[in-house]
Structure 1
Amino acid sequence: MTQQTKYNMVKEKIIEWITSGKVRAGEKIYSESNLVKKFGVSRHTVRLAIGDLVHEGWLYREQGAGTFCSGRKLQNKLPENKSPNTNTKNIGVITTYISDYIFPSIIKGIESYLTEQGYSLTFACTDNDIEKEKQCLQSMLNRNIDGLIVEPTKSSSYNPNINFFFEFEQSKIPYLMINQFYPQLVPPHIIVNDQKGGFIATEHLINLGHQKIMGIFKADDLQGVYRMQGFIKAHRENNLTLSPELIINFSTEEQHHLLIDKVKKLLLTSETMPTGIICYNDQVAISVLNCLRELNLRVPEDISIVGFDDSFLAEATETKLTSVTHPKIELGIQAAKWIVSAVENQNIKGNEHSIVYEPELVLRNSTGLVKNDKLITT
């Protein structure tokens, strides 16, 4: 028997186990050693066969655990008039973070609707790390999900993981991007108009008389890029000279200590002291508030601050933050409705049914008027 014949025999036998139900979705198959003994072939032949079955979607590997039946191919072979058991429908949800900031509210919205519709959920987070995103996407492909809701990772530059989304498309697994999206894919998405958010936040301070405004923006996510665009646009439309030294960009890796060090250094050394600060989000705004206290600068008497997302943090401190709204729970619900419709109808394509929320500004006491070089709270 030639190696090619042995190789095909191993493949066909494993496929027979899967299609007959001897090995079910999620169950582990025999180890390489057992398969070598069972079929009387070389380990190389077994590895070739297993590798092919993984590539074709019959099996998936979990590092350190073994090789498992995916069930995806079997599901795709169901007759057209026979739908899979709705109890087995599973939606994957990948966000950059899960347990903090606005993400619990978004996930609550997703979970409430999907659970009501009888769907199960598989959660994962990337910590805004490209390698972790790769692992999450591979895991979702292996877990036989029916649809995917995903918040992209470091979306402002080319992402090397977009090939996974082509695999979802080839497998007819619908996916939806939230909060931001990969522009290379032009995918369906639900986002906030971040440029408008940056614009209305900045124009609010300009209307209060501020002319020297610091902008703090995240550089590796599109949200930060668009919010910065709004910041710049507001200066231009109000014929206000922009001070480039007052713009601070930061990366995911810098968002804690290094970012505040940058802010503190600028406030201590710049010849242009800002009277207002636009922050990428409320988390950054809270960190800046703490920094200003250390420098004995008062908010809003010395410096006004605007946050973004109108999160619970906006009212968590003595100084209540003026902040740009984010739909949070509503966005989660709409994302869940979209993915259910896509799974059940399979007629949603491209960005035809994308949603863009228009943000508003919620005024609190972290901003005030500039008058005679002093601030008057509103």
Structure 2
Amino acid sequence: MAPKYKNVKQHIKSKILDGSYRAHQKINSEYELVNQFNVSRHTIRQAIGELVSEGWLYREHGVGTFCADRSKLIQHHSRKSIAIVTTYLSDYIFPHIIRGAERILSDRGYNVILFSTNNDVGKERTALENILSQQVEGVIAEPTQSSFTNPNINYYLNLENLQIPYVMINAYYEELEPLSLIMDDEKGGYMAAEHLLDLGHKDIIGIFKSDDLQGTRRMKGFLKAHRQHGISLDPTNIITYATSEKFTKPAQETAKLLQQKTSRPSAIVCYNDELAIQILEVIRKQGLKVPEDISIVGYDDSHFAEATEIKFTSIKHPKSRMGEMAAEMVIDLIENKPGRKKETGSIVYEPELVVRQSTRKLESEEMNTQT
């Protein structure tokens, strides 16, 4: 367990980093902090003393303790560093995005500091506190649990207050209206479903992540495709899951649906290719084959799409190009700060369907069994 003074110190530091305490603002008195944290005055003085010595606070004798003006430190900071925050670092498509950004940033003389949130808002907060402490020039961030209201919005607002530009990739927090680079995920979800509908499939499972904006938008496109093609959608065919459930719920719920021998769905749209690999294993355990018994469409056209003997039909993600363009965008914001939003705009990538071996056209008699 951390010493009590360190907990007090971290609380005050967090209030500075999220903008609750502004430059030259007086913080609570020692007496108020003693009552707030239910600790001794010695504990408070130890925490305050370290924050003063580290340059987070300053004292005025007989007046009180104040938040230091850290913007001056940032303006005179000599290192050129860019922080990249993604949900994951070494998994799936993220190494491609990161390497794309690093190539551009390195060529332009910027150091790169990497952070991973594991799609956890607490880890995102820690990453943002580290970023604000290290006085970076700019930030490339992938939002955490982007389909929900984010509790760390204040940290991004404090980046703005400190004139540290940031761009968001893959999704964005709508409250902030940031510059962003995203896929048209609604259209991608539509295209995945439409491909199967055009092949004669009418009983299609859709599996989507619920705590990311990408997942909710892909599901929206999936639903829209059914409506516009006049196909009734069985509500039990929609499976949603949170990040914490990604290795359990999708496989379990898909297995239940596939065990319905008389009304077994003929196709599946997966949130991404990583999930498609999991679902392929579920299908095999049921004694079924792809695409003979079940057609599958993935998303992102990652290395997983071609990792097995079954090559997956998938929606293409820009990957490295997204990283490169995010780096170019944040550099433009750093080096052309006046009127930057007028000169730089958000980017929406058009989805592209890559057709491989995992989907097939149903014969007329098979189509009749679905009606």
Question: TM-score, length-normalised on structure 2?
Answer: 0.80
Matched, 1:363 2:355: yes
Distance 1:101 1:200 in 2: 22
Distance 1:211 1:107 in 2: 39
Aligned to 1:123, what secondary structure does the other structure show? strand
Shift in Å at residue 257 of structure 1? Answer: 2.4
* Structure 2 portions without partners, runs of 5+: 1-41, 59-67
Shift in Å at residue 197 of structure 1? Answer: 0.2
Q: 1:133 aligns with which of 108, 124, 133?
A: 124
Q: Deviations over 1:84-104 (max 9, x none)?
A: 64xx11000000000010000
Aligned to 1:332: 323
On the 8 A contact 1:302/1:374 being kept in 2, the answer is no
Aligned to 1:370, what secondary structure does the other structure show? coil
Q: Deviations over 1:269-306 (max 9, x none)?
A: 48642111100000011111111011111111111000
Alignment of 1:301-316 (within 5 A): 301-316=292-307
For the structure 1 residues 372 and 252, does the alpha-carbon distance in structure 2 shift closer, same or farther, using more than 3 Å as the test? same
On the 8 A contact 2:180/2:347 being kept in 1, the answer is yes
Distance 2:74 2:187 in 1: 44
Aligned to 1:298: 289
Q: Deviations over 1:348-368 (max 9, x none)?
A: 239961000001100001000
On the 8 A contact 2:83/2:112 being kept in 1, the answer is yes
For the structure 1 residues 308 and 54, does the alpha-carbon distance in structure 2 shift closer, same or farther, using more than 3 Å as the test? farther
For the structure 1 residues 300 and 350, does the alpha-carbon distance in structure 2 shift closer, same or farther, using more than 3 Å as the test? farther
Distance 1:262 1:279 in 2: 13
Q: 2:88 aligns with which of 97, 105, 108?
A: 97
Aligned to 2:98: 107
Percent identity over the alignment is 44
For the structure 1 residues 371 and 43, does the alpha-carbon distance in structure 2 shift closer, same or farther, using more than 3 Å as the test? closer
Alignment of 1:1-378 (within 5 A): 44-45=44-45, 47-48=47-48, 50-51=50-51, 73-76=72-75, 78=76, 85=78, 88-269=79-260, 272-346=263-337, 347-349=339-341, 353-374=345-366
Distance 1:125 1:254 in 2: 19
Aligned to 2:298, what secondary structure does the other structure show? strand
Distance 1:271 1:70 in 2: 69
Question: TM-score, length-normalised on structure 1?
Answer: 0.79
Structure 2 counterpart of 1:74, one-letter code:
L
Runs of 4+ in 1 over 2 A off after TM superposition: 42-58, 69-76, 269-272, 347-352, 372-375
Q: Deviations over 1:220-276 (max 9, x none)?
A: 000000000000010011111111110000110110123211111222148642111
Distance 2:321 2:190 in 1: 23
Aligned to 1:61: none
On the 8 A contact 2:56/2:70 being kept in 1, the answer is no
Aligned to 1:94, what secondary structure does the other structure show? strand
Shift in Å at residue 219 of structure 1? Answer: 0.3
What is the total number of aligned residue pairs between the two structures? 317
Distance 1:234 1:277 in 2: 14
